[in-house]
């Protein structure tokens, strides 16, 4: 078993080499430093080749710190129906008119849904879920 003295020596050495990596991220500047360090570590790990690397656990720990900071300081809101519709139209290269013809929803309704001038109803959600796949809830979430 490692003694407290040995652990202290290793900790001090690690802090001297990579002071930001094991501590919680407290501001955007430390986030930038830690992100840069993770990029460097990842390149080093990849350069070594396939298979496990001794620093994989360190990268995982640091990524957890990055994720915790970003989740707290840069939350991503849940998409609403309009966001989902924009995404699906762009992903499939569809126009509002093409979607209207394919689903039977009036083009004016689609336009109003996209501009958030009309709320999504359960009927709209069912129609879009049937056409695009997925469940009804994804069209009604975030509102």
pLDDT tens-digit readout, 82-129: 999 999 999 999 999 999 999 999 999 999 999 999 999 999 999 999
Q: Which of 73, 98, 128 is the last residue of a domain?
A: 73
Record the pTM. 0.56
Residues 62, 11: one domain?
yes
**What is the Cα–Cα distance from 92 to 128, expressed in whole angstroms?**
13
Residues 13, 54: one domain?
yes
Residue 104: burial class (beta carbons within 10 Å; 0-12, 13-18, 19+): exposed
**What is the Cα–Cα distance from 28 to 9, expressed in whole angstroms?**
29
Residues 30, 13: one domain?
yes
Strand (E) or helix (H) holding 46: helix 28-48
Residues 46, 16: one domain?
yes
Helix and strand counts by DSSP (H, E) for the chain: 8, 0
Residues 87, 65: one domain?
no
Residues 91, 115: one domain?
yes
pLDDT tens per residue, range 22-66: 888 999 999 999 999 889 888 888 888 778 888 888 889 899 999
Residue from 102, 138, 118 nearest 110 by CA: 118
Q: Which of 20, 44, 73 is the last residue of a domain?
A: 73
Residues 65, 102: one domain?
no
Which residue segment(s) compose the domain that 31 sits in? 4-73
Q: Which of 40, 73, 106 is the last residue of a domain?
A: 73
Residues 69, 85: one domain?
no
Residues 68, 9: one domain?
yes
Tokens of 27: 């501001």
Number of domains forming the structure of the chain: 2
Check which CATH number belongs to the domain holding 124 and give it. 1.10.260.40
């Amino acid at each position: 078993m490692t003694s407290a003295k040995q652990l202290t020596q290793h900790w001090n050495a690690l802090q001297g080499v990579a002071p930001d990596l094991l501590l919680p991220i407290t501001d955007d500047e430390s986030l930038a430093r830690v992100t840069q360090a993770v990029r460097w570590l990842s390149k080093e790990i990849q350069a070594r080749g396939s298979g496990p690397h001794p620093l994989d656990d360190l990268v995982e720990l640091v990524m957890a710190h990055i994720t915790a900071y970003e989740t707290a300081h840069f939350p991503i809101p849940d998409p609403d129906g309009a966001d989902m519709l924009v995404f699906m139209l762009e992903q499939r290269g569809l126009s509002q008119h093409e979607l209207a013809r394919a689903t039977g929803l009036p083009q004016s309704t689609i336009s109003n849904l996209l501009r958030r001038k009309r709320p999504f109803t359960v009927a709209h959600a069912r129609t879009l879920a049937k056409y695009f796949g997925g469940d009804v809830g994804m069209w009604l979430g975030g509102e």
